[in-house]
């Protein structure tokens, strides 16, 4: 798999100074956590789920979550499980689970669970009960190889242990390198009087299962619900102060760059069509006019994607990587903003080139780079450059966005 492979090869050569590198379904979790990008959620009840998954892959989606929890009704669980199993088994039967590019031929020394699976994104199942993990894997049979892991809802230290134990048991039984994505969204996680203790307890639990934890996800919708709130499309989650405070503490405890932290992903953007606007659009006209892309700007505004773009910028600035989305039209914006700019790449390369510390003017002569305090930032940025690439010097976000959304 490789980001932006759905774009014409010749045009990719124009867009990138360094191209995104391919990754495999069971690569190093540190790489996969960054490669998730925009993680598209969909309910497990969708009647054409298999086709939806393949269609998403053709549009550049690299990770999907099929939901058996909040996205479906309490009376739909059995139906949703049956549909999920049938659809994934159908995908597997049609060859979606065979390795790319050499279908039918296994590379030397490669285990069955480590083959790159073509035609589908990284797939995760969001369960509501720990028992579903082993049950679904057993019912899927060989098609379980399509599943990269499970999303664990309402995660706390008291509830999460059973989920992680079930995941470990299922991985041992099937031989699959299954990964976990716990979701922090419970009231205890957002309420100020309990939050610090809960997060430190979660950190200790996750540390015991570090090899299984791909990323920590933030459930901003449930967090907002703890206060009876809902973020309007004109505002970002960082304008909702009670939830923003919780995100700050999550990054502080679980997103540290000292080796103890995890990748923390951006919260869901839940809007995909515009209603009445109260505030001015959040996209400046000049970058779009320079690229003669005024119609693109208007489409983004009409679909409320200007708010998404601003929130992704704030996610990155606050230490979050990737984002949960609920509509395919969101994916291009998240991925275009994940591409490392040529200026960022030059800064990071300069910083990593100074082993003994010190300060220097940037290659673009517009800022100071300090080798020691900026090193962790530079290392993280280089990992993002590996999977999302580095834009050519004169290529802007607008051009990347237009290209990423071209299919």
The Cα 330–Cα 269 span in angstroms is: 8
The pLDDT of residue 295 is 57
Residue matched to tokens 């299919």: 407
What Å distances lie between residue 217 and 184, 221, 226, CA to CA? 6, 12, 17
For CA atoms 333, 336, 340, 342, give the dihedral sign. negative
Instruction: Pick out the chain residues at pLDDT < 50.
Output: 100-117, 277-280, 297-298, 300-302
Rg of the chain over all Cα atoms, to the nearest angstrom: 21
The number of helix segments (H) and strand segments (E) in the chain equals: 17, 12
Minimal CA–CA distance to 57: which of 331, 321, 284?
A: 331
Domains in the chain, ordered, with CATH? 17-339 (3.20.20.60)
pLDDT of residue 110: 36
Half-sphere exposure of 83 (CA within 13 A, CB side): 19
DSSP 105: -
**Residue 285's pLDDT is what?**
57
Tokens 């995909």 belong to 272
Half-sphere exposure of 164 (CA within 13 A, CB side): 22
Name 158's Cβ contacts closer than 8 Å, sequence gap at least 6: 201
Terminal-to-terminal C-alpha distance of the chain: 17
Question: For residue 290, what pLDDT is reported?
Answer: 57
Whose CA is closest to 49, among 34, 32, 71? 71
Per-residue confidence (pLDDT) for residue 103, from 0 to 100: 39
For residue 272, the model assigns a pLDDT of: 73
If you write DSSP's letter for every residue of 27-79 in order, what string do you get? Answer: S-HHHHHHHT-EEEEEETT-TTHHHHHHHHHHTT--EEEEESSTTS-GGGHHH
The strand pairing partners of 16, in sequence order, are 391
Whether 154 and 185 have beta carbons less than 8 Å apart is answered as yes
Residue 403, Cβ neighbours under 10 Å: how many?
Answer: 22
pLDDT at 32: 97
Which pLDDT score is estimated for 41? 96
Q: Residues with Cβ < 8 Å from 402, sequence gap 6 or more? A: 291, 293, 296
Query: Cα separation of 404 and 391, whole Å?
Result: 13
What's the distance, CA 194 to chain centroid? 27
For the chain, how many residues are written?
407
d(CA 87, CA 51): 9
Q: pTM of the predicted model, to two decimals? A: 0.88
Res 105: pLDDT: 37
Q: Regarding beta strands 63-67 and 122-126, do their DSSP bridges make them parallel or antiparallel, or are they unpaired?
A: parallel
Give the C-alpha separation, 265 to 156, whole Å.
Answer: 17
Enter the tokens of residue 37: 């990008």
Strands (E), 194-286: 217-218, 266-269
Beta bridge partners of 266: 323
CB atoms near residue 266 (< 10 Å): 27
Q: Looking at residue 30, what is its pLDDT?
A: 95
Compute the half-sphere exposure of residue 178: CA atoms within 13 Å on the CB side of its CA: 29
DSSP state of 117: B
Give me 126's structure tokens.
């969001």
User: What is the average pLDDT value for the chain, to the nearest integer?
Assistant: 88
3-state secondary structure of 86: helix
């Amino acid at each position: 798999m490789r980001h932006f492979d759905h774009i014409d090869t010749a045009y990719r050569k124009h867009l990138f100074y360094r191209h995104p590198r391919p990754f495999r379904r069971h690569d190093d979790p540190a790489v996969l956590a960054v490669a998730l990008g925009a993680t598209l959620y969909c309910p497990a009840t969708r009647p054409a789920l298999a086709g939806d998954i393949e269609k998403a892959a053709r549009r550049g989606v690299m990770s999907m979550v099929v939901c058996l929890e909040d996205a479906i009704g309490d009376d739909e669980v059995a139906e949703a499980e049956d549909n999920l199993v049938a659809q994934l088994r159908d995908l597997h039967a049609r060859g979606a689970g065979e390795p790319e590019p050499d279908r039918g031929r296994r590379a030397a020394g490669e285990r069955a669970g480590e083959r790159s699976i073509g035609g589908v994104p990284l797939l995760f199942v969001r369960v509501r009960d720990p028992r579903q993990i082993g049950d679904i894997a057993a019912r899927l049979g060989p098609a379980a190889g399509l599943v990269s892991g499970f999303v664990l809802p309402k995660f706390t230290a008291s509830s999460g242990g059973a989920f992680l134990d079930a995941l470990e048991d299922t991985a041992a039984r099937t031989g699959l390198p299954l990964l976990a994505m716990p979701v922090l969204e419970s009231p205890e996680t957002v309420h100020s009087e309990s939050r610090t203790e809960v997060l430190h307890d979660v950190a200790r639990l996750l540390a015991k299962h570090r090899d299984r934890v791909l990323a920590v996800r933030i459930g901003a919708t449930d967090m907002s619900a703890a206060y009876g709130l809902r973020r309007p499309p004109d505002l970002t989650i960082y304008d909702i102060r009670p939830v923003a405070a919780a995100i700050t503490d999550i990054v502080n405890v679980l997103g540290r760059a000292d080796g103890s932290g995890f990748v923390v992903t951006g919260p869901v953007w839940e809007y995909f069509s515009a209603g009445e606007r109260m505030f001015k659009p959040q996209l400046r006209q000049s970058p779009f006019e320079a690229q003669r892309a005024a119609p693109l700007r208007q489409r983004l505004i009409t679909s409320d994607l200007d708010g998404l773009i601003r929130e992704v910028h704030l996610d990155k600035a606050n230490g979050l990587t990737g984002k949960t989305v609920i509509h395919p039209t969101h994916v291009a914006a998240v991925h275009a903003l994940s591409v490392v700019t040529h200026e960022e790449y030059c800064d990071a390369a300069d910083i990593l080139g100074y082993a003994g510390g010190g300060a220097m003017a940037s290659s673009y002569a517009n800022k100071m780079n300090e080798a020691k305090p900026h090193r962790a930032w530079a290392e993280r940025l280089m990992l993002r450059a590996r999977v999302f690439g580095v834009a050519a010097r004169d290529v802007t976000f607008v051009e990347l966005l237009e290209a990423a959304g071209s299919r």
